[in-house]
Amino acid sequence: MIDALGKLGITGLRAQLPCRDASIWADLGTGSQLFVSAYPLGTVDRNYTVIDERQLAGIGVQHVRRPSDPAIRSRFECAADEYWVRGAVPPAFADMDAFVERFISALACSP
């Protein structure tokens, strides 16, 4: 994930957590932050509401919300992992969908 973010001009830092997931944090400046996490498929609880779904770079991307947090996240599957993206839109992108689409391509996900 850090390499894929780097291809998009974003420096990601890995959070050291005692889990099988990868959690990446990026400081976008002026107090803005981006968070990207990847989990092995089937390990994330399904306690969220799907707001909508769209195709980005040929991959189904869901906008989801957890009951405990009103923040909207983008969720998609790639290979044997599921990715969650939340936080501020990186400056070089028009919106979060534009970022997620390029991130999916940088990860080399295929439908």
Select the more confidently predicted residue: 64 or 16: 64
41-70 pLDDT, tens digit per residue, is 999 999 999 999 999 999 999 999 999 999
Q: Is the dihedral of CA 100, 103, 107, 110 positive or negative?
A: positive
85 Cα distance to chain centroid: 2
Give phi and psi for 67, each to the nearest 5. -60, -30
